[in-house]
Structure 1
Amino acid sequence: MLWHKLIGFAILSLVLTQLELVQSDVPASGCRNNFSLAAGKCLLVTNSYYNWYEADRHCRSLGAGLLSIQNQTQLQQIEQWIAVKAPWVLDFWTSGNSLGQTGAYYWQSTGELARYLPWSPSQPQTKNGDCLVLESNKYSTAGYSDFRLSNKNCTHFGPHICEQQQQKYNTRICLKPGSYENAQVLA
């Protein structure tokens, strides 16, 4: 009976010696590819000027979508992030649009109806267009602030903010290469 326990212990020891810690390509923040963590999302500001369609395509090429905003707390955190990353940029494309249904706005990146719409004064102006920008309503020597939503023609050019979902795990345990073959030979 002791020899069964010894063999079991030997096999377990062999398997454990073949384990190694492997770092994934997700840094500790959970954000990839130059994205930074803000408002529970991985965000990237792009100062290249694209129309809304090109901005959406650009974000998708990065494994992301254009920015969506769910609530006031998230908007405040995004504003603080903008103050650091792009204090002198006046407005940014978001994923919000009313394409296909006038008067109802959806977040293109999530497909959800936009329930939180912090409009700039005198907005929305549906005659201005179907796509939403996050636009500053206040200027100071420190940069732009007090961002709110406005609608623009989707073919206008402007910078944009991409968002990725934060990755939850950044390490994993794997067998060392060749471990499976070694275990088969010993068995």
Structure 2
Amino acid sequence: MKIHKMSIVLPFLLITPIFAQLFYPKHKTIRKFHLITSHRANWHQALFDCRSLSMNLVSIYSKEENDNIVQQIKDGGYIKEDFWTSGTKLGNKDNTYRWMGSGKPVNFTDWAVGEPNGRVEEVACIHYNNDKGNAQSDQKWDDYSCHSKFFFICEQELIEYEYCST
């Protein structure tokens, strides 16, 4: 008695989609966890320090995300400090800013008045500025020398899945 290959494959093909639904995520949520550091570093060292924690320097894609980070800075009592982000134009031939953490272009912005004003390559990194004399510029973005030492914010994306239940 010979078993036809289709008689083995056919039940597998019929059951696989049903079985896969039990384990395939129904809903995926991405949340970001932010770590505000307690020491200062230049932009390059900040990038390295975040990566050593399996994190990235923070990248900001929306007003909501930006407002959330500013609130975390305030809640942490760091309102009088400056913080590095992963935004930079280092190595970009077209002189545009990109998020080093993701490689994506900087589309959402929250620049302080008159920023970005860096016309030289050395002023090529984005930080949250604490403009001590101008309340309108507090925690707005500023381009600055990447060699300056500021606090920095690391981030990690946390992916949560909700699976189908029976």
CA shift digits 1:26-68 (9 cap, x unpaired): xxxxxxxxxxxxx941000112111000000000000100011
Contact 1:120–1:137 (8 Å) recurs in 2: no
SS at match of 1:161: strand
Q: Tell me: higher relative CO, structure 1 or 2? Use CA pairs within 8 A at least 6 residues apart.
A: 2
How far apart are 1:108 and its partner, in Å?
A: 0.2
SS at match of 2:87: strand
How far apart are 1:137 and its partner, in Å?
A: 4.6
Aligned pair 1:113/2:84, yes or no? no
- Give the alignment of 1:21-170 within 5 angstroms: 40-101=31-92, 103-127=95-119, 129-137=123-131, 146-168=138-160
| Larger-Rg structure | 1
Bigger mean CA deviation after superposition, 56-65 or 124-133:
124-133
Note the aligned Cα RMSD (angstroms).
2.6
Is there any run of 5+ residues in structure 1 with no aligned partner, and where?
1-38, 140-144, 170-187
SS at match of 2:114: coil
For 1:63 and 1:155, locate their aligned partners in 2 and report how far apart those are by CA, in whole Å.
23
SS at match of 1:166: strand
Contact 1:98–1:130 (8 Å) recurs in 2: yes
For 1:40 and 1:146, locate their aligned partners in 2 and report how far apart those are by CA, in whole Å.
26
TM-score, normalised with respect to structure 2: 0.69
For 1:89 and 1:67, locate their aligned partners in 2 and report how far apart those are by CA, in whole Å.
19
Is there any run of 5+ residues in structure 2 with no aligned partner, and where?
1-29, 162-166
* Aligned length, in residue pairs: 129
